Structures are given as C-alpha cells and as structure tokens.
Structure 1
Amino acid sequence: MLTRRNLIAAGLAGTSLGAFAQFRVEISGVGATQVPIAIPRFRDEDKAAQQISAIVRADLERSGFFRPVEVNGAALDETARPAMSEWRARSVDALAAGSVQRLADGRVDVRFKLWDVVKGSELGGQASAVDPADLRLAAHRIADYIYEKLTGDKGVFSTRIAYVTRGGGRYTLRVADSDGEGGQVALNSPEPIISPAWSPDGRELAYVSFESQKAVIYAQDVMSGKRRPIANFRGSNSAPAWSPDGGTIAATLSREGGSQLFLMDRNGGNVRRLTSSSAIDTEPCFSADGRTIYFVSDRGGGPQVYRVATGGGGVERVTFAGSYNISPAISADGRTLAYVTRQGNSFKLQTLDLSTPGSQPASLTDTSDDESPSFAPNGKLIIYATRAGGRDVLMTTTLDGRIKARLVSTTADVREPTWGPYGR
C-alpha cells in the first residue's frame, strides 16, 4: 500500500457519507495508576440500538486512567441512592449509572449520574434526548463527562478519527468515532489516498489523491462531501497540514524543483516558500500556538525531525538518536514529540520530551511496522498505524505505552490515521 512512509523512503533514496463495517476494540496492558470504576448496565438499554454502558466502559478503559470493575448484575439507575459502603467493599472508587428510554417522538432519552464512592458524594450527571442514530455519540459524551470529572482533563471519546483503507483494488478515506466504530465513507478511489489532515474546526479534511495520476492536495467538507483542490502545481503536491487557526496550510511542493516546504492560504492562494535547501523537506506539522513548524529533512545526511518558525529563519534539528526519524506529531501542550524511528528493519513509534533538554526517546510499542502517529486533542493518547497478525491495523496507546487498544478491521487493511479536533 502506498503510504507517506513509502513516499519519504523513495524520495530520500533518490461523496457523501455512507456506512462501513465496524472495528473490534482489543485492549491490553496495565496502567500504573487506574481509578476502579463500576458502570452497571443502564436501565432498559437492552431495548436500544446501542449498549450505552459497554461503550462508556470501553472508552474509559482505553484511556488508561480507569479500571472497570465487574458489577455482577447490579441493577441501579440515575435515581438510585447507592449504598456506598457496599461499593467500597468491592474496591470501587467511582460509580456511574443511568437509563435509556424511548420517547413518543422517536428520540431516546439518555440519563446518568456519577458518584464519588470514596467520599460518598454525587459528582453530577446529564440528561439528553438524542436521535437513535446518535446513541453512540451520547455514550461517548457520557465517557467524556466522567473522564473530565475524575481526571480534570477534557475527554476525547466524542471526537472523530479519519483513516484510509485498501481493499478490492480501491482506496477509501473514512471517518469514524474515536474508537473506530461507526465508520463512514468520505471518498472512494482506484488510486492511492494519503496524508489526511483535519481542519481545526473539524469541518474539512485535507488529503492527497493520485486520481489524476499525480499527487494533488484537496480539501473536502466532511458533511456534504464537496471538495476543492488546494494545490495542483507542477510536480508533486503532498503532506498538507493546517495551521491552528485554519487560515493557512503547509505542504511539500516540488513546483520550484526539489521538495520544499511552502505555506499557502486555506484556498490555495498566496503561496510562499518556507524552506530553501538542496535537501528534501517534508511532513510539516504546526505547533499548537502556530508559531513553529516541525518537519522531516535529510539535510543532515539521513531523515531527521527539524523545526522552523512559521515566519521563516533558521532551522533547528530536534531528533538526534537514530539515523532515520520521520512522521512528527506534536502534543497540544507542545511538550511531547511523537515520531517513527527505524531500528534495523523495524519502524517503531517513539516519543521525545521536548520540555526537558537532553531527554532521551521513549519507545512505546512492541510492533515493528509503525507509522503515522497522531495525538488525541487532549494529548493523552496517540493513534497510529501498524501491522499485527498479518494485517494493517490501527492502535491507540497511552503516552507511557502501558495501555494499547487495537482497532481491528475485519474487512480491509487500514493506514494513515489522523485524530480530529474537539467540537463535534
């Protein structure tokens, strides 16, 4: 399958939405500190199209901060007055319970309440009436509420991911929930699609398509499917990245000879060159404040991660360990760089603490074909592509590598993941 890493290696060496099959989430690993939480089945959820409690439990477990506790058929909802001493005896620190009820207008009323078992106090709850098609989203929002109440950080379970699949001789750009479920088709093509990138408002996806037998950058409205060309210049147009304000796109263009970084307005106008070297400069990504661009260059002899101010100027090398480092991604707080390093014949996901001078890379995986890391918007999880069991799959990992969730596709090879922003 043609991927960004294939293109980098080669270079350095010389519509509307429709339904898609679901993933199956497999979670492994043990976190260092986890909150034991009990989430019994919501009252009457068996009458709904989605098992709300199961979705919430899986979300929280995947985060690495929670350990779901077996409830052994306990029955209670948001109106209950739990016997806290009994739950403490089960070594439960937090408890969430709720109900699902179909309304006369066809919508579904979803309610829940959260309790701090240790303190014996209520932590609030929510009630919402949703279309049956939005029950998964309602469950993800419950998980977000619980996550934020108990960790102080914003949850990301109601956000979306985008990725590319290959099967039957076709390439498909898809959009799904953050757990890989509810996938929908954004674009089908007989030619490769690579490098999807979310706009900061979550309304558009930029990507590279080869349907015209060359690399062209498009931006596509996620809801309507309407798209527009962003960069179709002479030569190759690749690796789009949005600025945090959504007004600028960085990309790698070869329109002036060689592959260099350029900036342009979101509609493709006002093109200006950012880097000027005899090397290949590619895979740009913006820092959260928009002042810095991280990118990959072989200007030092082999591919490494560098950075440069968006206004131009001197280029600074960031990675030094290893001779082949590509695919940079930056956490929202700017403290952590994720990237892929080559170790022998293996490609491994690593992180580097940018806030501590002289820090050494940390390896997060035991797989050998990792690529395309992308941070969740809260910076607590990374999604990436890899190969496991003879198939291309997506994985999420906590930043310490202790908790991994394998999003297993049952119908196609899956690559090129990118995590969408808040705001859905």
Structure 2
Amino acid sequence: MKVDTITMMRTLLILLVLFLMLPAVSWSENGYIEITAPGNRQLRMAVDVPRSLEAASSPEKAREMGEVIAFDMNMSGLCLAEIKEQFNLSGALLFAEADFNSWLKGGYDLLVRGEYSVKGDDLTVEFRLFDLANRKMMTARRYLGKTKDLRRFAHSFADEILLAMTGERGCFTTHIAFVSTRSGNKEIAIMDWDGHDTRQLTRNHSINLNPDFSPNGREIIFTSYKRHNPDLYRRPLSSPVEVAVSHREGLNITGAWSPDGSRIALALSKDGNSEIYTIARDGSSPVRLTSHPAIEISPTWSPNGSQIAFVSDRLGKPQIFIMNADGTGVRRLTTNGGYNVNPRWSPKGDKIAYARMEGGGFQIHTINVNGSDDTQLTSSGSSENPAWSPDGRLIAFSGRRGSGDEIYVMRADGSGETRVSKVGGRSTQPAWQPR
C-alpha cells in the first residue's frame, strides 16, 4: 500500500509538471487572449507566408508581408514569431484538424495565415490569426488597395493581432519624424516606424530641430533657423506650407503639443534667459510658467495635460523637474546623475524617459513620476532623445554605435534594441506619431 501511495504521488507530480508545460494560452472573459506563460515560456507564433489565389503569384511580395508581421510581433515582445512555409494546405483558409495538429507538433501556439491576389497594380489580401491550442480563429481582416500598400496592410494586421491578444491596438501603422542630414542640411524627415518609406519633409536648406507631432498625428511643429533666428514653425504632413507659430526675439525651441492640441509648451528667451511658456496653437496668448535665473528647457506634457516635466539647471547642472500645467508646484524628479536631459512622458502617464550623461556619452533611463525606480535601459555608445510609441510598448531614440547617429527602437524595458533608420547621414531627435 505504501508503495502504491508513493507511485500515485509521483504520477500526480509528473502530471502537474506536464500541465505546467502546456502552452500558456487562455481566454479571458472579455475575449482577449491572456499571456501568462509559466516558467519563462514564451508563446511561439508561426507566420505562414501568404498564398496566391491566382495562377500567377508574387512570392517576393508574399514573403515581404510575412516578414513585416513577424518583425512587428517580435518587437512587441508578446511572442517569438518566425516565417514558416513548411506546412502546406490546399484550398482556402479553412483549417482541417490535421493542419492544426501539424502546427502544434511544430511547437507553435499561434498561427497567422494569409491569401492574396494581385491584378495589375491592385492588391487584395486577407489575414487570419488562429489560437492553435483552442483551435479558434481570433481575428481576421481583408485589405483592398495597391501593391505599394502591402507593408501598410501587414503592419495594420499586426496592430489587429495586438488588439486581439491584449485589448489594445499596436503602433505599427504609425510613423517617426526625425532630423536627418542626408541632404547636407539638418532637415525634418519622416519614416514608417520600422524605417521604411523615408521621405524628407522640410526643404529650407537650413537647420531644423526638435519635431513634435500634434495629438491627431496630422501635423508637426519644429524649430527652424531658416530666417536666421530659432523660430517655431507648424506644418501639416500633407502640405509643404510652413507657418511661423512663434518668432519672438531669441530662442523659440523645444516645442511640445498639449494632449488636447489647444496649446504648445516651449522654451522662450524673449525676456532674457530661457523659460518655459505655453502659447496657443497659433502662437498667441503666451503664458510664462517658470521664472528663475536658471536655464529652463524641453517641456513635455503628462497624458492628461495636468502637468509638465522640463529640464532646469537651477541646482547647478541639468535635472528633470515636474510642475503643474499652470507653473505651480515645481518639484525635482531626478536625484541621481549630474546631467539629465530630454524628458518624454509615457503615454500611460506612469513613467518619464530621459537621457543621462554617463561617462563620455548619454544613456536612456526611465523613472516613475514619483521619483522611484530609476532604471537604465541602454548601455552601448551614446543614446539620447527618447520618444515613446503611442501604446507605450516601445521607445525610439537617437543612438551612436560607432561613428554615426541613427534612430533605434527598443522595448520599454530596454530589450530588443534595433536600428531602424536607413537613409544615410546623421539621424537624430525622433518624435513618434500618435495613432
């Protein structure tokens, strides 16, 4: 009897271990998939290269779409995604039992499949996401457009995958604006978040700095020296027209849109030293928020618009401070490091990313808004100007790894650092477009 009891206990233990090794895929009451993998087990996603519905196929286009989805999902940190073509299925996107089993035996928890049709320059593509363990389709989308839209379609479905898995849409159809010297001058350029489809926005053959997107993502503000003074300009993405918003004597720099788009915070030196002001979107109604002999610069709004973080050297060296949006209640945020700059408030409102002088260069840190959990995210070369993705999962920054300055993207915990800029010259000062 004693032996039987021991044997039973061992059997139960083995069953428990096997249970813990099952794919950590479960469905919550709201229908979103819950990512709670035990034992550091990460979900695996297979991205099956889309199949052509026509006799004439475009395998290079199909593979590019699959690669875009896999790249987006790997950067999200939610799963390990890889391109697979080994399990063939004839017919349309209807799954037989054997097909699910083949993917499961391959060790996958999630599967993305697609079909496409190319007729001339017209592209039709349909993607579907499957939860293999539960043999359930999680989401599906069909896209109609031109072949030039294939990357946008793939990014869009990656956004849908995040929505299905987490309840929040991804950031993969957004863009990053940045300062580029490719033309020989410091001009504002814009690219897809992963570095593709880069195009130059400004062409004034001058120095242009510090782009920032409006809350609707349709226009930017930036500082330009095109009239020989650092003035603040505004321009829509769809038009080359640049309108002077603030051209007061002295500095008109580091402009930042308020979350509701009604005002702009910036640094002005019209009264002597640099101070933080807010102005209306047309440049009128200036309100001075700081009044100190020190240099005050680089304002960034909290997501609800109630507070502004900024840089001040009022203690001798630059540190990050926070104040109410009316200038009251100023408090010091950073207490470590002697030179802290470039604050950016996270979309969730809980953290601020910034750059700290570390030895001969800068490194990106994040800190809670109450001053706790000051965490260094980068350690290589020099890294500056952090910019949060609109969902808060990723951070873009300008990094120097060797001789050149490029735009990099990493996850919010500092992992997955990836260079995305591809245009040549120096690429700095990224700003991430809202959804």
TM-score tier (shorter): 0.7 to 0.9
Taking the aligned partners of 1:299 and 1:151, their CA distance within structure 2 comes to 43
User: What's the counterpart of residue 173 of structure 1?
Assistant: 188
1:191 correspondence with 2:206 = yes
Q: Percent identity?
A: 29
2:84 paired residue among 71, 76, 84: 71
1:404 is aligned, of 406, 417, 428, to 417
In structure 2, the residue matched to 1:15 is none
Mapped pair 1:334 → 2:342: no
Is the Cα contact below 8 Å between 1:159 and 1:420 reproduced in 2? yes
Distance 1:353 1:85 in 2: 45
Matched, 1:35 2:43: yes
User: How big is the shift at 1:136?
Assistant: 1.5
Distance of 2:77 and 2:406 partners within structure 1: 20
**Alpha-carbon distance between aligned partners in 1 of 2:155 and 2:414, rounded to the nearest angstrom:** 23
**What is the aligned residue count?**
388
Aligned to 1:299: 314
Q: Which residue of 2 aligns with 1:264?
A: 279
Partner Cα distance (2:164, 2:269) in 1: 48
Three-state SS of the structure 2 residue aligned to 1:55 is helix
- Structure 1 consecutive aligned stretches of length 4 or more whose deviation exceeds 3 Å: 47-50, 72-78
Where does residue 288 of structure 1 map in the other structure? 303
**1:46 maps to which residue?**
59
Letter in 2 for 1:216: D
Contact 1:350–1:362 under 8 Å retained in 2: yes
The structure in which a higher percent of residues are helix is 2
Match of 2:71 in 1: 58
* Aligned counterpart in structure 1 of residue 95 of structure 2, from 77, 81, 86: 81
Quote the Cα distance in structure 2 between the aligned partners of 1:151 and 1:70.
22
1:364 aligns with 2:364: no
- 2:406 maps to what in 1? 393
The aligned amino acid for 2:160 is Y
Match of 1:91 among 85, 104, 107: 107
Q: Which one of 161, 171, 190 corresponds to residue 176 of structure 2?
A: 161
Inter-CA distance 219–334: structure 2 relative to 1 (3 Å threshold): same
Mean CA deviation greater in 45-54 or 121-130: 45-54
Q: 397-406 or 280-289: which moved more?
A: 397-406
In our comparison, the structure showing a higher alpha carbon Rg is: 2
The answer to which of 234-243 and 152-161 deviates more is: 152-161
Larger relative contact order (C-alpha < 8 A, sep ≥ 6)?
Answer: 1
* CA–CA separation in structure 1 for the residues paired with 2:73 and 2:178: 22
What SS class does the counterpart of residue 39 from structure 1 fall into?
strand
Change in Cα spacing, 1:196 to 1:410, as seen in structure 2 (3 Å) is closer
Shift of 1:389: 3.3
Shift of 1:80: 3.2
TM norm structure 1 = 0.87
From 213, 217, 220, the equivalent of 1:202 is: 217
Is residue 297–residue 311 contact of structure 2 (8 Å, CA) maintained in 1? yes
Letter in 2 for 1:39: V
Letter in 1 for 2:290: T
Alpha-carbon contact 1:283-1:327 (below 8 Å) kept = yes
Q: 1:314 to 1:78 in 2, by over 3 A?
A: farther
Call closer, same or farther: CA 1:34–1:187 in 2, change over 3 Å. Answer: farther
2:204–2:226 CA contact under 8 A, matched in 1:
yes
Structure 1 window deviating more from structure 2 (384-393 vs 250-259): it is: 384-393
Give the residue type in structure 1 aligned to 2:49. R
> 1:75 deviation in Å?
3.5
**SS of equivalent residue, structure 1 residue 390:** coil
Distance 1:33 1:379 in 2: 23
What secondary structure sits across from 1:143 in the alignment? helix
Q: Which runs of 5+ in 1 are unaligned?
A: 1-31
Partner of 1:373: 386
1:48 offset after TM fit, Å?
A: 4.1
- Residue deviations 1:299-331, cap 9 Å, x none? 111111111111221211111111111100111
Determine the structure 2 residue equivalent to 1:417: 430
**What SS is found at the alignment partner of 1:142?**
helix
Task: Assess if the C-alpha contact under 8 Å between 1:49 and 1:132 holds in 2.
Answer: no
Counterpart code for 1:289: N
Q: 1:345-378: CA deviations, max 9, x gaps?
A: 2210011123xx5623111112231111000000
Distance 1:245 1:179 in 2: 27
TM-score normalized with structure 2 length: 0.85
User: Could you list the per-position Cα deviations for residues 212-256 of structure 1 after superposition, in whole angstroms to 9, with x for gaps in the alignment?
Assistant: 222011001101222210110011110000001111001100011
